[in-house]
Structure formats: C-alpha cells, structure tokens
Amino acid sequence: MSIKDKAASGSERLQGRIRIPTPLRYLINSCLIAGLWFALSGMAAGGIINNYWKGILITVGINIILATSLNISVGYLGQLPLGHAGFMAVGAYASAIYMKSTPAAALIKAGDRGAVLPYLITAVLISAAVAGLFGLLIGIPALRLKGDYLAIITLGFGEIIRVTITNIDSVLGFKFTYGAAGLARIPKFTTLGNCFALVVISLTLIHMLMKSRFGRAILAVRDNEIAAESVGVDTTYYKTLAFVFSAMLAGVAGCLYAGYLGSLYPSTFKFMKSIEILVMVVLGGMGSMLGSVVSATVLTVLPEMLRAFSDYRMVAYSLLLVVMMIFRPTGLMGSYDFSMSRLLEKLLNAVFRRGAAADGEAYTEEGGR
C-alpha cells in the first residue's frame, strides 16, 4: 500500500465509529446488575446493611417501580394521570388476599422460602393483571381527555378505588378487604432479593417497550398527537397501552408493599400518595428512567437520614424541592438516560480516533520524508 493510500485509510478510520452489538450490550448490563446484587448481598451478609437499612432499600425499590411506571404515562406519553395510588392499592389488596388464602404463611414461618416462590410469582402476576384491568377500564374513557381534565378524572377514579376498598368489608359473607380496619396478617414474603429482582425486571420491560416500535409510537403521540394520527398511528391504542402497562407495574409495586408491611390500610392510598409519586417523576426529570430511579432513591433515603432533625426535616425536604424547581425545572436528569454501553462506545471511539489521528500524522510525516 502506498503512503497516500495509508493516509486515506487513516482518514477513514478517523471518521469511523465503533458500535457495540446488541447482545454484548445486554451482557454488559447483566454483568453490572449481577455485580450490584453481589455487592448488596455481600454487605448484607457482612452486617454492613442491617435489617433497618434492608427495609429502607426495599422501600426504595418499591418507590423506584412506582416512579418509573408513572414516568411511562407522564414522561413518555405526555399525559398527567393522578390516580397511580389507586392502581397500587388494587395490586396490593389482590396479592394480599391471594397470599392469605394459600399455605404461603406457614411456609414462610417454617423458613422454606424456596417453596414460597411459586406463590410469590402467582401473586405478582395477579396484582399486575388486576391493576392492568382497572387501568384498562379507567383508561378507555379517561384518555379521551387531556391536561387538567385527565388529571381530575384519574384523581376521581383513584379516590373511588380507595373509598370502595374502605367501605367493602365482605362479599357474600366472605371477608374481603376488612374495610377501614385494614387487612392484617399478610404473609411477609417481600425480601431484598425478590424486590431487587422485580425492580430489574420492571426497568428492563420499560426499556424494551420504549426501544420497540410501540415505544416510538408512544413518543410520537407525546410530541405531536395530531401529526402522529395523520401518519396512521392509532393514538387511542398506544395511549391505552402505555396507561395499562403503567398501571400493571404500579400493581406489582403494591404487591411488594403488601408483602413487606404485612398489613394494608385504605388511608395509605390517599390522593397525597399519588402526588408523592408524581413529585419523584418531576424531580428526576420527565422522560428519564435514570432520573426517576435517582429521585425515588433520594426522596426515600433523605427523610430517613434527617430523622435526627425530626422537627425540621420536612422543611428541608420541601426547600430542596423548591430550589430544584427554581434552578432545574426540567428535573435532575431532564430527558437524559444513562447507558453504560453508550459510555463505553464513547470511550472506545475516543481512543480509536486518537490512534487514527496519530497514524495519519505518522503517514504524513513519512510521505514528507
């Protein structure tokens, strides 16, 4: 090869771009997830993470699922539903009633966690199915509205769910929700391990949805619903799909919540619970899954860390939100989503270009000589 050809080859390499194949991307992400789990389990086994912090981490996981699931409707779809706590409630009660009616409690008491796994999987599927059904029933009429009207009607549906649970004590003589007294003696099946697994599965499903053609259609509806409909996108179908999927994940979070506390009370799922979840989404950045994860973690851990200042911690909590909304109205992450594979691609391309530039300079100097 002549010096001129070598210089041209170096120029082509300089303009090239390294792309990590999709299977390798999933392998990298799987390794990171496994590394994080081994780190958490190692700290738990070593006593660094005690039972108190295990409980906080489980709560963080539940809030991550709630925030990221609401982000589907608010951030990706561009709607403003305010009834997310209602879907969490029906998922929690559905799974709790199922687990109470099975031998799961006796198996957990005997320490046979392996035998509980089929019941746990069934409880998660039941909670997702029931919450998804309610999401479908509410979404079909509600999603015909937009903006404030959608917020009001979903808020109303959420309150209807809570009031119904409060006033239905039994059905056909069978104790159902126990009304305002609450549902107690629920088997405590939620552990740090299964909570971590469900968080990973939920985030993976959201990522896969948004990277698919369904996700692109949902984003198109958010950006310009009229333009999307004009090119053949069935806006009603995709709005309902996103809403139902969001409700199903909220039901899964409710399942974990019921299995963690061991008791449920309708007063937990008031309007302010939906606002609390919405604050996590807005603070993290609407349309950013990483932002929802970070904000859910911060807003769960921060109040616990400020317990020593119990008289002032809510003031500090509120001031943090006010400052964020003034100086960073788009949220912590805006619409940015972190990707380890993309970061590795940038690093590899930077090294590749530097080497290509050095080769080009060497060939030029050789040609000059």
User: DSSP labels for 225-255?
Assistant: HHHHHHTT--HHHHHHHHHHHHHHHHHHHHH
Which SS3 state, helix, strand or coil, does residue 362 take? helix
Asked whether residue 369 carries a pLDDT value surpassing 60, the answer given is no
Please, are residues 142 and 153 in contact by the beta-carbon 8 Å criterion?
A: yes
| Pairwise CA distance, residues 218 & 227, whole Å | 13
| Pairwise CA distance, residues 222 & 239, whole Å | 9
Look at residues 352, 343, 348, 351 and name the one whose alpha carbon lies nearest to residue 32: 343
| Pairwise CA distance, residues 137 & 134, whole Å | 5
Look up residue 277 and give its amino acid: I
Asked whether residue 7 carries a pLDDT value surpassing 50, the answer given is no
Higher local confidence (pLDDT), 130 or 158: 130
| pLDDT in the model for residue 313 | 64
Give the right CATH number for 50-338 from 1.10.3470, 3.90.550, 1.25.40, 3.40.5.
1.10.3470
Place of tokens 């041209």: 8
Q: At 266, list the tokens.
A: 């309708």
- pLDDT confidence of 356, banded at 50, 70, 90? low
Which SS3 state, helix, strand or coil, does residue 1 take? coil
Higher local confidence (pLDDT), 350 or 214: 214
Asked whether residue 256 carries a pLDDT value surpassing 60, the answer given is yes
pLDDT digits (tens, 9 = 90+) for 186-230: 988 898 989 999 999 999 999 889 888 998 999 998 888 888 888
| Pairwise CA distance, residues 306 & 42, whole Å | 26
Q: At 72, list the tokens.
A: 């589907």
| pLDDT in the model for residue 310 | 62
**Long-range contacts of range 231-238, CB-CB < 8 Å, 24 or more positions apart?**
236/143, 238/214
pLDDT digits (tens, 9 = 90+) for 44-101: 888 888 888 889 999 999 999 999 999 999 989 888 888 899 999 999 999 999 998 8
